[in-house]
């Protein structure tokens, strides 16, 4: 049996942690290396980790100062020995056959991605994002088409519903201090994949808790804009015209919301101006080849951020 490393970053999740670790311990696939990385918890989470590590020789425990989720994942990667890597967030849990199912269906793919279920704090199902409907094999182009054109962005970009060959992370680590760390790194991961296996089994339980990163008031919209901007040249290079168009459509709202979110910060307008110029550079190149009135209007909307902000907020309210 191939050794699989499961990395669990831990930070102040005392109420959820035992259920998470138990779900990994009880996997029907037994040849696991379980790495717990406590990111400076001060709520008793580290004590729970210590108790579990004493009872299961497969568990390795590391503790760091509080440097964030990316750093904790990187510590796990630095100590991983498995041929494959799985990430599990410490407030979530996984189906007992998750690892077994993903390995058995992998067909030696570099990356395997499964569906997931959203679960509330009270253990009830939450309305789901778009789900993959059938098992399939994707290449680089198909991955990004599904991401942008089929509404599978969360499915595609998050770290935790995936089985990775460890070699994908050679010389590659999560950016420390970024909120959208999954989005930043997925570009490089997908470029390294010869084959991506996707399966429609829902094997991961994504818990919606109020204190999680996804529910913080600061959303990091400027960082989201940076992520999308970083992809423009990549999509140009590979001739993904439809994908590039959707990517360009995503950026203006991120820029406007980013300016609004950081308006009290000293360099907010400068950062907005820099990112807007970078966006216009890629937009002009696209518009020379493909006409889009929608993109033309967004380009000029960004020159009037106060008014465009009102429009973006109105659209977001309509979407709920």
| pLDDT, average across residues 172-182 | 93
pLDDT of 174 > 60? The answer is yes
Partners of 93 in the beta sheet? 205
SS3 125: strand
User: What pLDDT sits at residue 317?
Assistant: 75
Confidence grade of residue 62 (pLDDT, cut at 50, 70, 90): very high
Res 240: pLDDT: 96
pLDDT of residue 212: 56
- E strand residue ranges, the chain: 4-10, 32-38, 59-63, 84-87, 93-94, 111-120, 136-138, 162-165, 196-208
Percent of the chain with pLDDT over 70: 97
**Distance in angstroms (rounded) separating the CA atoms of residues 255 and 225:** 6
Match 């998050």 to its residue by tokens.
158
What pLDDT, on a 0 to 100 scale, did the predictor assign at position 127? 85
Q: What is the mean pLDDT of the chain?
A: 93
More confident residue, 9 or 307: 9
Between 24-38, 77-91, 250-264, the lowest mean confidence (pLDDT) is in: 250-264
Given a contact cutoff of 8 angstroms between Cβ atoms, the answer to whether 10 and 37 are in contact is yes
pLDDT higher at 142 or 212: 142
Whether 161 has a pLDDT exceeding 80, the answer reads yes
Across 45-64, average pLDDT:
98
pLDDT in tens, 37-47: 999 999 999 99
Check if the beta carbon of residue 305 is closer than 8 Å to that of residue 272: yes
Better-predicted residue by pLDDT, 313 or 27? 27
pLDDT at 311: 82
User: Taking residues 86-98, what's their average pLDDT?
Assistant: 98
* pLDDT of 34 above 80: yes
Query: Which tops the pLDDT comparison, 201 or 306?
Result: 201
Sign of the Cα pseudo-torsion (279, 283, 284, 285, in order):
positive
Look at residue 320 in the predicted model and tell me its pLDDT: 60
Q: Is the pLDDT of residue 209 over 90?
A: no
Asked which of 22-26, 49-53, 72-76, 313-317 is least confident by mean pLDDT, the reply is 313-317
The percentage of the chain sitting over the pLDDT mark of 90, rounded to a whole number, equals 84
Averaged pLDDT, 10-29: 97
Q: Could you read off the pLDDT of 95-116 as tens digits, one per residue?
A: 999 999 999 999 999 999 999 9
Q: What does DSSP say about strands 32-38 and 59-63: parallel, antiparallel, or unpaired?
A: parallel
pTM over 0.75: yes
């Amino acid at each position: 049996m191939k050794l699989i490393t499961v990395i669990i970053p831990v930070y102040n999740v005392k109420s959820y942690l035992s259920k998470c670790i138990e779900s990994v311990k009880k996997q029907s696939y037994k040849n696991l290396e379980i790495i717990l990385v406590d990111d400076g918890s001060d709520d008793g989470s580290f004590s729970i980790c210590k108790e579990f590590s004493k009872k299961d020789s497969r568990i390795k425990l590391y503790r760091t100062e509080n440097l964030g989720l990316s750093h904790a994942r990187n510590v796990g990667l630095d100590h991983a020995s498995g041929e494959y890597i799985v990430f599990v967030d410490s407030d979530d849990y996984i189906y007992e056959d998750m690892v077994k199912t993903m390995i058995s269906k992998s067909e030696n793919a570099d990356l395997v991605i499964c569906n997931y279920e959203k679960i509330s704090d009270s253990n009830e199902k939450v309305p789901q994002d778009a789900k993959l409907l059938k098992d399939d094999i994707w290449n680089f182009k198909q991955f990004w088409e599904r991401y942008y054109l089929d509404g599978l962005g969360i499915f595609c970009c998050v770290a935790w519903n995936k089985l990775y060959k460890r070699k994908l992370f050679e010389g590659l680590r999560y950016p420390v201090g970024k909120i959208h760390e999954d989005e930043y790194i997925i570009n490089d991961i997908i470029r390294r994949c010869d084959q991506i296996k996707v399966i429609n089994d829902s094997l991961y339980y994504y818990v919606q808790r109020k204190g999680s990163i996804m529910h913080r008031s600061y959303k990091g919209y400027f960082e989201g804009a940076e992520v999308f901007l970083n992809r423009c040249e990549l999509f140009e290079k590979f001739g993904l015209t439809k994908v590039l168009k959707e990517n360009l459509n995503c950026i203006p709202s991120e820029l406007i919301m980013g300016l609004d979110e950081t308006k009290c910060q000293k360099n907010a307008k400068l950062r907005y101006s820099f990112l807007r110029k970078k966006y216009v550079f890629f937009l002009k190149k696209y518009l020379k080849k493909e006409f889009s009135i929608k993109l033309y209007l967004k380009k000029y909307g960004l020159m009037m951020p106060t008014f465009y902000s009102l429009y973006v907020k109105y659209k977001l309210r309509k979407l709920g």
